[in-house]
Structure 1
Amino acid sequence: MTARKAVKFVLMWMSLAVLFNLGVWYFEGSAKALEFLGGYIIELSLSVDNLFVFLMIFTSFGIKKEYQRRTLNYGIIGAIVLRAIFILLGIKVVNSIHWILYIFGLILIVSGFKMIFGHEDNKDYTDSKVLKILKKIIPVSDTLHEEKFFIRHGGKLLATPLFAVLIIIESSDVLFAIDSIPAVFSISTDPFIVYTSNIFAILGLRSLYFVLNALHEKFKYVKVGVALILMFTGVKLGILFFHIEIPIVISLATIFALLVGSIIISLIATRKEKKDEEEVKLKKVDL
């Protein structure tokens, strides 16, 4: 999928989310519509960082673009199922143990700090614990076999590196859900709102991935914006202990400002770096 085509699909999925939100507003009222919008923006924002992880996983295993599509499709299906399970369990826990929200808040704040100060930009996923566990369950071949997940070699069933990538992606999505779902809980604990906002964000992930794949170098500071969103939602949950509740409109404005601000800063920084590189080249030519 080309970047231009991917952008069109991203806009299509976003348009569908907006239409759905209008339906929520019509049938459920403005408060629920704002909750859906907040949940959707949070999930979409956090998905960006998750997609960067997907990109690193594919890069680590040397998976070509033409073979990534199938893995992403299965990954998204898995994410939809996992979200349903995590959301239902999460809401049940929150309804039973309300103070768990404060724990969720702490987790989000810690995750935000780790995202900013962690060093996983060049992580090698070919040496991951998930892969080591997988190899104990089923042998993994050393070479790709197009889009196949399994092959038979010498009478033995082998998993391909593409299947290993799928498992690692699914495992990373589990970790991602630990951050994203509590973050959405800072906006709403309505199962319908939480799940639908998650699903609409997830449905556009494949297209968004191909956009980021083409333009990821231009969004180098988006990760910081996402981390700040995590910390903000963590604080939002934490201060509930003191019976302080940040209005949803302010929450939406803050989240939107952090995301858009990080994108703008990234673009400015990228343009400046490009300009500096061109100046260096010109100086070398003059010499």
Structure 2
Amino acid sequence: MLSFRNQHQVPRMMDVLTIEWLGKPLWMWLGFHLLIAGLLAFDLGLLHRDKEHEIGVRESLALTGFYLALGLAFGGWIWWYLGPQSGEEYVTGLVVEKSLSMDNVFVIAMILTALGVPRAAQHRVLLWGILAAVLLRGLMIGLGAALVHEVHWVLSLFAAFLIYAGLKILVSGDEEEGDFQNSAVVRWFKTTFRVTPELHGQRFTVRKTDPKTGRVALYFTPLALALVLVNGADVIFAVDSVPAIFAITTDTFVVYTSNIFAILGLRALYFALAAMVDRFAYLKTALAFILIFIGAKIVVADTFGLVTVPPWVSLVVTLTLLAAGVAYSLWRTRTDAPDQADADPVPPHEARAHRA
């Protein structure tokens, strides 16, 4: 039997869980983060206990399907609990974020290839990169939510930026992303910190004797440098993706959960796409049109109030553009690459040279 004190503590706890934070009860936020923590523990503790395990294309596709199914199942719960409109906005946001993350995957593949990170060590970089991305996206989404709710016209600014970003992709075409080995970030990192020229297994840091001082000092490995570049790439891509999701919905819970589920599947998606990077040569064009469509939707609907675009229309257009981009890419490159199941990722510059 509960004591008099405990009988009053239970209602107080229930009252705390129903307090609204960013438009939703606290229990929804806590429940979502417990779900994410459980998924990460499952992924790390059960699926990848072997640090030397190399993730092949088939395993990558299976994990991608697993995370996608979970993301859609969570969207089904949102649809049931918050209503059809929130459900449609969540699924649209998930598809848009997943689409934009594909371009991020290609850049990450170039970073890891340029730094000579072996396939067995790549999943460690991606793991910590995704954990950092979850924190960074949370901060950026929180800032974006504050701006949108305090200054509504900031959505028009987001729309203009998305249209500009889409047009820039169309104009720039399929240009090289740059020489990461000689980039300003790499030069700064190597001149600021001690960096070993070679990898040390899957370690980010190692202690060794400094030849200049003769003392044991802390050195960073190329794996740590790869992690810095991967996180930097995610911040750059978040500049596109965060405005894109706010252009779909201003519900902070929907924005955040769809973003996080898209990021969670990024590590699994990487090992499938990185092995077939050149097969999606025309995906950027589809992503550009998606950004332009989302920006134009805000301009005609929110800025000028000319027409209201239902969430399901945004979802259908996004899926159509994405499917068209993937299908056209696979068709145009159908004779360039044989079956690459479980093959090592192809360096993008070599793949382009082969196609040329």
Matched residue SS, 1:186: helix
Whether the 8 Å contact between 1:6 and 1:211 is mirrored in structure 2 is yes
- Amino acid paired to 2:273: L
Query: 2:91 matched to 1:37?
Result: yes
CA distance in 2, matches of 1:124, 1:161: 16
Q: 1:185-225 deviations in whole A, cap 9, x for unaligned?
A: 11111111000000111111111000101222211111211
**% identity of equivalent residues:** 38
Equivalent AA in structure 2 for residue 249 of structure 1? W
Structure 2 match to 1:283: none
Which residue matches 1:92? 146
Asked if 1:248 corresponds to 2:302, the answer is no
Q: How many residues align?
A: 275
Q: Structure 1, unaligned stretches of length 5 or more? A: 276-287
**TM-fit CA distance, 1:120:** 4.2
- SS of structure 1 residue aligned to 2:333: helix
Return the offset for 1:146: 1.7
CA contact (8 A) 2:158 2:247 kept: no
Q: Residue 108 of structure 1 contacts residue 182 of structure 1 at CA under 8 Å; is this kept in 2?
A: yes
* Distance of 1:120 and 1:268 partners within structure 2: 21
Give the C-alpha shift of residue 272 in structure 1: 5.0
Match of 2:70 in 1: 16
Q: Pairwise mapping of residues 1-287 of structure 1 onto structure 2 (< 5 A)?
A: 1-118=55-172, 120-154=175-209, 155-239=216-300, 240-244=302-306, 245-271=308-334
| Per-residue deviation, 1:107 | 1.6
C-alpha distance in 2, partners of 1:253/1:224? 17
8 Å contact kept, 1:130–1:171: no
TM-score in terms of structure 1 length:
0.91
DSSP-derived class of the 1:158 partner: strand
In angstroms, what is the RMSD of aligned CA positions? Answer: 1.6
Distance 1:242 1:21, change over 3 A: same
Structure 1: which 4+ aligned runs deviate by more than 4 Å? 272-275
Code of the aligned partner of 1:178: V
Larger deviation: 222-231 or 1-10? Answer: 222-231
Separation (CA, whole Å) in 1 of partners of 2:256 and 2:170: 28
| Structure 2: gaps spanning 5 or more residues | 1-54, 210-215, 339-356
1:153 & 1:121 partners in 2: Cα distance?
Answer: 36
Greater RCO structure (CA 8 Å; 6+ sep)? 1
How far apart are 1:133 and its partner, in Å?
3.0
Contact kept in structure 1, 2:104 and 2:237, CA below 8 Å: yes
Larger fraction in helix: 1
1:116 is displaced (CA, Å) by 3.1
